[in-house]
Amino acid sequence: MTRVTSRRASARAGAVAVITVMAAAGCIPTGPPATPATPSTSTSAPAAADPSAVATTAPSPTSPSPATSPSSPDPTPTPTAWADALACPTYDDGLDVDYVAIDSHRYSAICTGMTFAEASAAVPDWELEPEAICPWVAEVVAADPLYLQAISDPEDPTGPIRLFRMIYLADPETAPPHEVPATAEGVSIGSSVADVVAAYAHARQVVHDDPSRGTREQYVVDDGANHWLVFDIVGEVVSEMTWGIDLPGGIAGELCAL
């Protein structure tokens, strides 16, 4: 099995060329988020291939783990205040980051509210470096054809992470389930529309007339505390995922502008 890692892959340059064209920065939610909704009380554990991953997932949102600044001995930074409603797990050597489910506020131990520098400090050997042409986008995973990015605010690139996006630069129907990160409900790239609807009964379907990508069908899930999951659908399967702050209407446009 190909291990999904966060180290730079040799195919990175080609993937960046694909994912950084024809963008409009205005398509990314910017500025302060809306007033957070009451956090979800759901504490279901992520589905994980490695049982140890379940044992090390985030604690209940009602009792978040203490966080410290990157300069302290504990490498977990303090998230920005508007992300405090959702607990950010602390990385430890027993956490298999390849099998940790996606939550609406995080990927592994990298969470919304962290800056790229704080996120880099949160997980050993991970380094989020902003892209030169769009410094609000930083690569987290590069395992061709799978890529995952963290996105801050185009108006404040060094500010907190607001979104994550996962893409698969091949036929999504061929994405191997055991190698593609999934939500706690088991939904990921390659999942069917039926899977999305079954997992999220409150999912809303939206359609965007995207000026750079054409018509985009999406399913949007409100996960509480102003955090959302967005599933792009192509050919009745999930082709792309975006999750994080302020996405009630889904997302349109690319992430970067040339």
- Cα–Cα distance measured from residue 236 to residue 200, given in angstroms and rounded to the nearest whole number: 16
**Neighbour count for residue 64 (Cβ, 10 Å):** 17
- Cα–Cα distance measured from residue 170 to residue 233, given in angstroms and rounded to the nearest whole number: 14
Domain spans, the chain: 12-245
User: Can you give the pLDDT at residue 197?
Assistant: 96
What tens digit of pLDDT does each residue of 22-79 get? Answer: 333 334 555 444 443 333 333 334 344 443 333 333 333 343 343 333 333 343 434 4
Band the pLDDT of 97: cuts 50, 70, 90: low
What tens digit of pLDDT does each residue of 13-32 get? Answer: 334 333 333 333 334 555 44
Of residues 15 and 116, more confidently modeled: 116
Of residues 175 and 45, more confidently modeled: 175
| Cis? peptide before 73, omega within 30° of 0 | no
User: Can you give the pLDDT at residue 178?
Assistant: 81
Band the pLDDT of 9: cuts 50, 70, 90: very low
Q: What is the mean pLDDT of residues 101-123?
A: 92
What tens digit of pLDDT does each residue of 130-162 get? Answer: 999 999 999 999 999 999 999 999 999 999 999
What string of DSSP letters covers 98-144? GGPPBBTTEETTEETT--HHHHHHHSTT----B-SS-TTEEEEEEET
Report the amino acid identity of residue 201.
A
Of 7-11, 115-119, 252-256, the one with minimum mean pLDDT is: 7-11
Percent of the chain with pLDDT over 70: 63
- Cα–Cα distance measured from residue 214 to residue 75, given in angstroms and rounded to the nearest whole number: 42
User: Can you give the pLDDT at residue 212?
Assistant: 81
